[in-house]
């Protein structure tokens, strides 16, 4: 299947190098316009690149999960201030808890 993600992984730029179209006829997307002098890759090459791009994206899920789980920057600054004042480790504890909940895989 031809996907924009696969073409992007191969180094092409949407709306500059190519445009895709899907006529909703069950055949999926196809290259409507190819605007570069570089030869158009085969569907197999595009599918392989799409699979690789998806695997890379999936492997970084822990980063996206952590980003939403960390305390806000305001909360982190407040924790850091009070940790310095009181000799506590609430900021370090909060960050460690998030990293433990969403480990690198």
pLDDT in tens, 39-90: 999 999 999 999 999 999 999 999 999 999 999 999 999 999 999 999 999 9
C-alpha–C-alpha distance, residues 6 and 10, integer Å: 6
* Mean pLDDT rounded to a whole number for the chain: 97
Looking at the structure, do residues 53 and 87 belong to the same domain, yes or no? Answer: no
The pLDDT, as a whole number, for residue 105 is 75
- DSSP structural state of residue 27: S
Helix (H, G, I), strand (E, B) or coil at 72: coil
The pLDDT, as a whole number, for residue 15 is 96
Looking at the structure, do residues 42 and 82 belong to the same domain, yes or no? Answer: no
Domain housing 82: 62-101
Give the CATH number of the domain where residue 8 resides.
3.30.56.60
């Amino acid at each position: 299947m031809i996907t924009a993600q696969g073409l992007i992984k191969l180094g092409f730029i949407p709306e500059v190098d190519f445009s895709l179209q899907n006529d909703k006829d069950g055949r999926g997307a196809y290259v409507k316009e190819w605007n570069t002098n570089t030869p158009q890759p085969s569907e197999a090459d595009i599918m392989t690149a799409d699979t690789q791009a998806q695997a890379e994206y999936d492997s970084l899920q822990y980063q996206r999960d952590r980003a939403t789980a960390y305390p806000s920057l305001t909360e982190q600054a407040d924790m850091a201030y009070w940790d310095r004042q009181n000799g506590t480790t609430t900021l370090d504890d909060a960050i460690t808890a998030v990293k433990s909940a969403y480990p690198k895989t």
